[in-house]
Structure 1
Amino acid sequence: MKRLVLITAALAPALAFAQEQSPQPDAAMSYGQRPYYLIDKMEDGPLKEKLTSCMAQTPARTDFSVGHRGAPLMFPEHTVQSNMAAARQGAGILECDVTFTADKELVCRHAQNDLHTTTDILVTDLAENCTQPFTAATPEGGATAECRTSDITLAEFRTLTPKMDAADPTASTPEEYLGGTAPWRTELYTDGAELMTHAESIELFRSLGAKFTPELKAPSVEMPFDGFSQEDYAQKLIDEYKDAGVPASDVWAQSFDLQDVLYWIENEPEFGAQAVYLDDRDAVPEGDGGLIDPNDPATFEPSMQELADMGVNYIAPPLWMLVTLDDAGEMVPSAYAEAANEAGLNIITWTLERSGPLANGGGWYFQSVEEAIDSDADYFNVLDVLAQDVGVAGVFSDWPATVTYYANCHGL
């Protein structure tokens, strides 16, 4: 991805995700302590020297830094407070994962069926509406439940209280099931957190000076749902930006379903020019083309050039698919990254700071470079390869301050 000048989609959609050349400082913006903590942990070398030299810089908003569900490392995801925190950390683009309620209203949730882990629904009267009621843990298996936004109306959704996304699989009661928050997250910022509709997220993000990257989530219900088709769903997402007067150049609509992206390209070409194909073909055997190996271009079905020929301008794989290790054990771009760049696709990636403390290889997000990952300092090392060698246009993060600091330091 060649970067980083933000211009309108009508002039050059292939570069629109990048940052304006002269971002303006925000009086309410702060990096907090985490970027400095990570820099202090780094081994001595050119990158540490560069990042250290920027410690006195003034934070500035950058479109390179994308709030992933806000700032859910420490705030309940997809809440007003989580997104305010992300904006104050300099995220230039904020995300609302979009799903729908029983009355077909769009709301911000990571999945249609996550209310049992992201809200208090199981300890309210609405628990009786859940697709799968709470079942206590037994010696044979853990506690279970499934509560969908499509199980309740928008009015009922508004009565729920959000919480950190977690569940206790050993729970014997619904109250116990609400626990399970990872020890490296926190409950400090849950009190008073507020849920949002998609339309409310548009107004909030605009008031915060941020742009928009809504993700159309795969329904948990069979479609059409009460006459509401997948195409209706995809169109309604776009219509809420049009109704709010948001220019298409400020919106990067996302979907893991290539057919949604192609729908936008054909039916809403201004928005389709910046539609993002979230690529999880590494994980979905029945997806578009089946499993792919990021280091074997022969498995890329459809190929990067075929995606570009379809009108796709943005592709967004998990970060591990973009990097690999060379014979010397150094992190370098994968064949996937090289092919995407060769086809002229803009690359966005996810998700930094979702893994907690990095040790013993860093977990799923770092699986392709696990031998080079042994401490939290590697968040910056991986970010540097993504930015400088892969050439990504933006990075989703659960704590955007880290990406913002790096981007500001490097003029991104």
Structure 2
Amino acid sequence: MSALVIGHRGAPGYRPEHSAASYRLALELGADAVEPDIVATRDGVLVVRHENEIGGTTDVAQHPEFVDRRTTKTIDGSEISGWFTEDFTWEELQTLRVRERIAKLRPGSAEYDGTERMLCLADVLELLREHERTTGHHAGVVVEIKHATYFESIGLPLDDLLEHELRGTGWAAATGLVIECFELSVLERLRGRGVDARYVYLIEKSGAPADRVVRDGTAAATYADDLGDAGLETLAAVVDGISVDKAYLLPWTTLGSGVGDLVARAHRRDLTVYAWTLRPENAFLNARHRRGDDAGAFGDWQGEFDEIFSTGVDGVFADHTDLALRARAVRDTA
């Protein structure tokens, strides 16, 4: 079976991430699924943003009525300054307009700055239904829960809010529903409450999950610990799959050589494997695939994408849906 191509925050290679235009374009280009990240507002609405700090992806800084909302917080051990979704109501956030996060690398996407409002999760789920009604194509949704332990600590448990949203919109047992997070505990709670989805554990290149750090301090098991044989055995009893930084799948990288044939070892334990994120710009490619000195120019993305598909991975997250589909087609006919 071909690897899934998942529109990472929609199609942010072409439109500002998490905008309606970004999601619609990913679906029009043929994405098998799309991936909204969720955080919460002060009044408990799940909004679609990669982070709860929104200074870099909206025009909030240009709103004088919100100047006093700028603050500094510690999120998962990192001190961050800016504007945070949990300090706004959903009504207030709808007055903002979204913008391209990496405008210097993606000026074409930045041309759409200021044209669309922020979305909540219900908006994205309705976009998927609209696409199915119009085209007959059912695309999946991969919901990523962001900063679960932090939000729980401030009285906004994302698992409760997500369960309520999914049940209320009829998605709690929908075909193609995947829920993922960098923290296992929130996935375990949702599965325990009977939300019928496939559960995927996200794995970073370094460090330890925030929920473990809060519980175990400096003794917290790391992401690397999860990728040994014993770690994969433990995960297989809890989740349906793992989603890893693409460097883990490239054997000539330090991370890749360190974990060996990760996809095969995970598959032996019936774990699905996803990889993130496929991007064609030199700034995001491994050094061996970069071409020239322009960070925003496309390098040998075909070579890197093909290397990732060749591992037998079950799905990839991509910023440019069409390019990932093209690379998949080449691999499928090889």
Q: TM-score range by the shorter chain?
A: 0.7 to 0.9
1:241, 1:127 → 2: CA distance?
Answer: 34
1:207 has 2:136 as partner? no
Within 5 Å, which residues of 2 pair with 1:105-184? Answer: 105-113=45-53, 115-124=54-63, 125-132=65-72, 145-166=81-102, 181-184=103-106
User: What SS does structure 2 have at the residue aligned with 1:74?
Assistant: coil
1:103 has 2:36 as partner? no
1:281, 1:264 → 2: CA distance?
Answer: 25
In structure 2, do the counterparts of structure 1 residues 303 and 251 end up closer, same or farther at CA, with 3 Å as the change threshold? Answer: same
Across the aligned residues of Structure 1 and Structure 2, the Cα RMSD in angstroms comes to 3.0
1:255 has 2:194 as partner? no
1:104, 1:396 → 2: CA distance?
Answer: 28
2:318 to 389, 397, 400: 397
State the TM-score, normalizing by the size of structure 1: 0.66
| Alignment-derived partner of residue 292 in structure 1 | 224
| Alignment-derived partner of residue 235 in structure 1 | 160
Tell me the amino acid that sits aligned with residue 272 of structure 2: N
User: What SS does structure 1 have at the residue aligned with 2:55?
Assistant: helix
In structure 2, do the counterparts of structure 1 residues 300 and 402 end up closer, same or farther at CA, with 3 Å as the change threshold? Answer: same
Question: For each residue in 1:20-64, what CA deviation from the matched residue of structure 2 results, as whole angstroms up to 9, or x when unmatched?
Answer: xxxxxxxxxxxxxxxxxxxxxxxxxxxxxxxxxxxxxxxxxxxx1
2:186, 2:105 → 1: CA distance?
Answer: 37
Question: For each residue in 1:342-382, what CA deviation from the matched residue of structure 2 results, as whole angstroms up to 9, or x when unmatched?
Answer: 222111110011x6226xxx55xx3xxx4x32334532222
Q: Which range moved further: 402-411 or 70-79?
A: 402-411
In structure 2, do the counterparts of structure 1 residues 222 and 265 end up closer, same or farther at CA, with 3 Å as the change threshold? Answer: closer
In structure 2, do the counterparts of structure 1 residues 108 and 393 end up closer, same or farther at CA, with 3 Å as the change threshold? Answer: same
Q: CA deviation at 1:408?
A: 4.1
Tell me the amino acid that sits aligned with residue 104 of structure 2: A
2:281 to 350, 356, 377: 356
In structure 2, do the counterparts of structure 1 residues 183 and 383 end up closer, same or farther at CA, with 3 Å as the change threshold? Answer: closer
Q: CA deviation at 1:71?
A: 1.3
1:149, 1:301 → 2: CA distance?
Answer: 39
Is contact 1:67-1:83 (8 Å) kept? yes
In structure 2, do the counterparts of structure 1 residues 192 and 302 end up closer, same or farther at CA, with 3 Å as the change threshold? Answer: farther
Q: CA deviation at 1:208?
A: 2.0
Instruction: Structure 2: give runs of 5+ residues left out of the alignment.
Output: 74-79, 133-138, 213-219, 292-297
Q: CA deviation at 1:126?
A: 1.4
In structure 2, do the counterparts of structure 1 residues 224 and 285 end up closer, same or farther at CA, with 3 Å as the change threshold? Answer: closer
Is contact 1:116-1:146 (8 Å) kept? yes
Q: CA deviation at 1:409?
A: 4.8
In structure 2, do the counterparts of structure 1 residues 304 and 118 end up closer, same or farther at CA, with 3 Å as the change threshold? Answer: same
In structure 2, do the counterparts of structure 1 residues 236 and 314 end up closer, same or farther at CA, with 3 Å as the change threshold? Answer: same
1:378 to 296, 300, 321: 300
| Alignment-derived partner of residue 266 in structure 1 | 192
1:280 has 2:219 as partner? no
Q: Who wins on radius of gyration, i.e. which is larger? A: 1
1:250, 1:243 → 2: CA distance?
Answer: 17
| Alignment-derived partner of residue 169 in structure 2 | 244
2:111, 2:118 → 1: CA distance?
Answer: 17
In structure 2, do the counterparts of structure 1 residues 317 and 381 end up closer, same or farther at CA, with 3 Å as the change threshold? Answer: same
Instruction: Kindly tell me the number of residue pairs found equivalent between the two proteins.
Output: 302
User: What SS does structure 2 have at the residue aligned with 1:117?
Assistant: coil
Q: CA deviation at 1:235?
A: 3.0
Question: For each residue in 1:190-231, what CA deviation from the matched residue of structure 2 results, as whole angstroms up to 9, or x when unmatched?
Answer: 2412311111111012212322111111058563424x3x3x
Instruction: Structure 1: give runs of 5+ residues left out of the alignment.
Output: 5-17, 19-63, 134-143, 167-180
Q: Which has the higher strand share?
A: 2
Q: CA deviation at 1:88?
A: 1.6
In structure 2, do the counterparts of structure 1 residues 207 and 408 end up closer, same or farther at CA, with 3 Å as the change threshold? Answer: farther
Q: CA deviation at 1:119?
A: 0.7
Is contact 1:264-1:275 (8 Å) kept? no
Identity score, percent: 23
State the TM-score, normalizing by the size of structure 2: 0.80
Is contact 2:19-2:119 (8 Å) kept? yes
Tell me the amino acid that sits aligned with residue 223 of structure 1: E
Is contact 1:119-1:161 (8 Å) kept? yes
Is contact 1:78-1:96 (8 Å) kept? yes
User: What SS does structure 2 have at the residue aligned with 1:214?
Assistant: strand
Q: CA deviation at 1:98?
A: 0.5
Tell me the amino acid that sits aligned with residue 208 of structure 1: H
Question: For each residue in 1:64-115, what CA deviation from the matched residue of structure 2 results, as whole angstroms up to 9, or x when unmatched?
Answer: 11111111123111110111111122112011100000111111010112x1
Q: Which has the higher helix share?
A: 2
1:261, 1:347 → 2: CA distance?
Answer: 16
Q: CA deviation at 1:313?
A: 1.2
1:89 to 29, 32, 38: 29
2:231, 2:94 → 1: CA distance?
Answer: 43
| Alignment-derived partner of residue 190 in structure 1 | 113
Q: Which has the higher contact order (CA 8 A, sep 6+)?
A: 1
